[in-house]
Structure formats: structure tokens, C-alpha cells
Chain A
Amino acid sequence: MAKAASKRAVKTKQPTFTKEQELKAYYNMLMIRRFEEKAGQLYGMGQIGGFCHLYIGQEAVVTGVQMAMQDGDQMITSYRDHGHMLACDMDPKGVMAELTGRSGGYSKGKGGSMHMFSREKNFYGGHGIVGAQVPIGAGLAFANKYQENGAVSVTFFGEGAANQGQVYESFNMAALWKLPVIFVIENNGYAMGTAVKRSAAKSEELYNRGSVYGIPGMQADGMDVRAVKEAAANAFDHCRSGKGPFIIEMMTYRYRGHSMSDPAKYRSKEEVKKMRQEHDPIEQAKARILEEKIATEADLKATDAAIRKIVSEAAEFAQTNPEPDPSELWTDIYLEAGE
């Protein structure tokens, strides 16, 4: 955060949004936040099994990137994926029902929070193995380039994942073959309980980790949706003009624990509180909207109410939708069901 924060302190010129963009970003970020809060509640109620990695705090990253995307571009990410799915316009009901393991979930209730996909919405998952989505994202870009379809693969991963060897194998191939892929490092400061400084050499410049392969990289304030969108737009231009991959390191922060159980021994409550109070992406957007009189407090309340309604409906669906039938144990293994 240091870099992005100090940038803000010297008041460099911030990219600006149109009124529509401000409102859209606000809506999308708030949708993710409310969805995640509800998921957290359902988890607390025992409705969600296994793990559940919330995206709260990081909403600006996927929201800003999505705003720079074009139809046909793909997204792929890790297990911290609910925000990405909503950003890809996947149905909150289907996502929530997958979290609760119901047959109406995106993976028929058999995948859970980490494993959801939508071919129609160009969302290629949801991957539980840290770093493994990175070469897959490069593969999506390979296919794009081969077909000359003009699409870009946006491949998200955490700063912890940035230490996996296959990330560098992917950088090499992507650079060698000039693949249209944007590697988005979501640097939220921690991989589970390990602070980035304790796990990464030159941890202050992860955006530079493709430089030996000739991949340009930049750091962006991942708590400011406008900065995210601008950085992403620049990266998309780069990729679409045939220059190959691009790396953006988004400086962001997760407010909640890594998953639902987290000893929280690795950071102080004050640190979390300070980030929430001073850098919250949604509060920042709201302040701008009010200050520039794009909407009134009452308008924003109405937006929140509308979002809460969608989220409650999703939660309702996710708790009443039937569980998968045991016969589903035998489906989706091979094309033809086994015994």
C-alpha cells in the first residue's frame, strides 16, 4: 500500500470518471460488498461448507478492470472469486447457491466457493490451487491469438501466488509468443498469514517481476477504482496492439480473514481499521459522488436498498433451492456416466 498511499499523499492527478462511470463503479463495488457480507453471514449460520474467501476490501480491483474490458475478453482467477463472477455479470443467485451447495449453483452444488465457471460470461474459474490459473490464463490468450479474435485474457492472482514457479514459466511463454494476457497481481499484503515482505524478494516491486522477460509492469492504487480502470485500459491497449503481455500490480487490502477461520495473528486490528477508514474503495467513490453532486445521499440509499434486495433474493434462493441428487456423484466424470 505504501506506494499507492504516498502517491495519493502528493496528490498526483487522478484519472477522472464520467458521472455514469462513477455510478456504475459504485453500484458494482457495493454489489460485491453486500454479496460478500451476506456470504459471510450464511457461513456463520452453517449454510456454507468448507472454505469461503471473501473479497471485501478489494472490490475496486475487479470492478475497475471490468470497466476497461470488452465483450469477448476472458477472466480467470483464484478461489477469491465471488467478486470476479459478479463483475462478469454472472447471476448472484447461481453464485450464492453454489456457496450453499445447491443444485441451482453454477457447479450444481458440487464445486463450492472456489470452483465456478461460466463459458457464456467468459469466466474461466475459480481455481483452488494457488498460482495454477496463471498458465491456464496464458493458454486462454494463446487461443485468442491463434484465432485472431482480438480478445484479451485477464489473469488474476495474489501476491502470494506470485512466488509460484509456474507463474514465471507463464511469463516466459507469454512474452516469447506475445500473448494477449494481462497479469493482474492483487497485492493485498498477505498470503494467508504471511506478509508479502516475509515471502517475496523485492516485495515492493512485484510489478517488475516480468521485466527480465521484457514484460512491462506497473503498480496501481487498487483501492481507487479510477486508477484501476486507467491502468487496465492502458494494459488492454498494449495487449490489443499486439505487443504481448502486461503486468499490473494492484495495491489492495483484504479486510476479512484469509478464509473464514483465521487466527489474525499476523496483523493488528489497527492496521485493518486504518485501511477501512482511510482507503475504502466504496467510501471513496461515495464521497466523490456526493461531493460532485452526481447523486444525493437518498439516491445512494436507494441504490443500496436495491442491491440488498437482489442479494437477499440470492440468499433466499440459495437456502431453499434443492440439494444435488446423490446420482450427481456419477455425472461430469466422463461424458458418459459411469456405474
Chain B
Amino acid sequence: MPEVDLLQAVNMALTKAMETDDRVIVLGEDVGVDGGVFRATNGLIERFGAERVRDTPLSEAGITGLSVGLAAQDFRPVLEIQFMGFIYPAIDQIINHASRLRNRTRGRLTCPMVLRAPFGGGIHAPEHHSESTEAMFAHIPGLRVVIPSSPKRAYGLLLAAIENPDPVVFLEPKRIYHVQKENVEDDGKALPLDRCFVLREGSDITLITWGAMIVETLAGADQLAEDGVSAEVIDVATLTPLDTDTIFSSVEKTGRCVIVHEAARTGGFGGEIAARLAEDGLLSLLAPVKRVTGYDTVIPMPRLEHHYMPSLDRILTAAREVLEYS
């Protein structure tokens, strides 16, 4: 079983999918000869040829629309957009076409495409190379938004995304591409796309997060454990459709909840989770839900970046406030 990091797991899943399903086509800017900006598609062109691993021109709107067309003919395009901020030129194709093809054609046409993009800050890059606007996509019915946060989940969730009959926006937390290595069985097994993952069980407080913030959140749980607090940590993984069952049953148990995300606060997906808890889980709550998030500002360049990113300290402060509330 190979020990791989998150990025290599993405590469493994792509390789596996291409091996087992010849409808899978990988395309995007520099995915071929260069093997992708982060090298996620390394080796694919050598293995599967330039017809199936297609270096495209610089045309985000065009290549996204093209993928919709491919998908409408039952191909399984896996499109790489180099950074999340470069998806915006393609937003029309994603919202107006990819996400609505099934609905608009009453199921006559579908859009089994995957749009992969690295996202999130922490690599000292400017705005469009660092932001987290996953909530924008989560707002669109018909799209699935999937965010892996470990090598195993990257492998299993990407395979699931490719197998899924509907469009998936698959966002890769680039800050943790190389943070953790795991033994990942290359067995082609997909993980469920409609489930949150409980990374650590606990009984005093529920910490909910996704993407790269997993690292700080787990560290927070460790610290709390030293204070004798048992924290449950949930990786949402699939933002939409949201697995509220896992979230509710955790909060029923703990009665306290902190949501952590890197994206700006206003309109962030944490607000959606908090609202669900308020609507349907209020009576389980022993304290108001708190969010620890990025600020409502443009993610700044390196010298200020660490002020922007939710820190371990901020997570602990919020958790303690929630724990002390009575």
C-alpha cells in the first residue's frame, strides 16, 4: 500500500479512473506536458496519451463549456482549473449550464463532469490564488461541492466525484497537499459523497470544519483534551448536499458547536450549518453556535496572511467561550 500525500492521492485517483473507465478525459491548462501547476496530473499524458489528457488553451469559459458538451455525450470530463479564482470566467457555464442541464432537459441530458481546483490560502499567494469561495458554489442547486482533507478522502472522494452522474466542484485544499502522508489502498473504491466524516469522537463539544482548517481544528481538539475536554471533530467533506444527520447527532450529544472555516464570514457556509442547527437542532444546544472564520476582507498578501487565517488560538478561544456558556 503506497504512502502518499493528498496531492499524490489525487493523482492516484485520476490514474485509477482513467484505467477503469475510458470515458474519463482529463483536460485543462498545462495538465499534460507540465503535469498541472501543482503536478496533480503528473504522468497522465505519458500513460494515457495527449488525446485523453488534453492541454487546453487559456480559455476557462471555453473549456468549461466544452466539458459540459463532452459530459452531455456521456463522457466523464475531469477539468482542472489552475486556481479557484480562475473559475470565475467560467461561472456562467457552471451555473447556467452544468448545474442545470439535468433539470432543464428534464433528465434527457446530464452533466457528469468534475471541475477540480486547488483552493484556500496559506501559500503566500495573492487573492485569486488563495481564496475560499466554496459557499458560492454550495448555493447552486444541482452542483455538488466536495472538499477532501486527507489523502484517503482525496482518493475516495475524487473517485466518487468522477462516478457521480452530476457535476461536482472538487476543491483541493492546496495548503495541505503535502502535509500528511497516509497508506492509501489503490483499490478503486469510492467513498460516499453524501456523508460528513467524524474524525474524532467526543462528548463535550462539536468542532465542524473542512479543507485545510482540519489541521488547526484537530490541533484545537488536542489542546482541549489536555484541559480534559472531549471534542468531536467533523470534516464536512461534502458541503452540498449536506449530511445534516451526522451533524445533528453529534450536537445532540455535545450540545455545543464551533464551526471553523477559512472563507470570509458573511455568507460563508458556516452560516448555513449554524442556521440548520438553529432551525432543527435548537433544543439540543446548550450554548450559541460560534463561527471562527476568515474576515470579510480580501485575503491579503503574505505579511498579513496569518492574521487573516483562523488560528489555533482563535479556535480555542471560541471553543472555551462556548464551553463556558451556561
Contact = CB atoms under 8 A, between A and B. Distances in A.
A50 B302 contact: yes
Q: Is the interface of A mostly helix, strand, loop or mixed?
A: loop
B85 A129 contact: yes
Given A50-B126, A164-B89, A329-B307, A112 B301 contact: yes
Interface residues of B, number: 38
Given A194-B55, A329-B295, A333-B297, 20 more contacts: A49-B125, A50-B124, A50-B125, A50-B302, A101-B301, A109-B301, A109-B304, A110-B300, A110-B301, A115-B126, A128-B128, A129-B88, A164-B60, A192-B29, A192-B30, A194-B29, A199-B56, A263-B39, A265-B34, A330-B297
A214 interface: no
Contacts of B127: 115, 128
Contacts of A22: none
Interface of A: 49-51, 101-102, 109-115, 128-132, 160-161, 163-166, 191-194, 198-200, 263, 265-266, 323-324, 326, 328-330, 333, 338
Nearest to A263: B34
A132 B88 CA distance: 11
A111 B302 CA distance: 9
Nearest to A331: B297
17 contacts: A49-B301, A50-B129, A102-B303, A109-B301, A109-B303, A110-B301, A110-B304, A115-B127, A130-B58, A130-B86, A131-B58, A160-B58, A192-B30, A265-B33, A266-B33, A324-B303, A328-B300
Contact of A326 (B55, B89, B301, B307): B307
Contacts of B35: 263, 265
Contact of A191 (B37, B58, B124): B58
Contacts of A112: 125-126, 301-302
B57 interface: yes
B55 A111 contact: no
B58 A164 contact: yes
Nearest to A159: B58
B62 A333 contact: no
Q: Is the interface of B mostly helix, strand, loop or mixed?
A: loop
Contacts of B91: none
A266 B33 CA distance: 7
Interface of B: 29-30, 33-35, 37, 39, 55-62, 85-86, 88-89, 123-129, 295-298, 300-305, 307-308
A102 B55 CA distance: 37
B30 A193 contact: yes
A198 B35 CA distance: 15
A128 B126 contact: yes
A284 to B, nearest CB: 30
Contacts of B297: 329-330, 333, 338
Nearest to A109: B303
Contacts of A198: 55
Contacts of A330: 295, 297
A49 B302 contact: yes
Contacts of B39: 263
Contacts of A111: 126, 301
B28 to A, nearest CB: 11
A129 B58 contact: no
Contact of B59 (A164, A192, A338): A164
B113 to A, nearest CB: 19
A163 B58 contact: yes
Contacts of A326: 304, 307
Nearest to A196: B57
A338 B296 contact: yes
B304 A192 contact: no
A298 to B, nearest CB: 42
B34 A324 contact: no
Contacts of A164: 58-60, 89
Contact of B86 (A129, A163, A328): A129
A165 B304 contact: no
Contacts of B62: 165
Contact of A101 (B33, B58, B302): B302
A303 B169 CA distance: 54
Contact of B128 (A129, A160, A333): A129
Contacts of B88: 129
Contacts of A129: 85-86, 88-89, 128
A234 to B, nearest CB: 28
Contacts of A110: 300-301, 304
B47 to A, nearest CB: 15
A331 to B, nearest CB: 9
B52 to A, nearest CB: 16
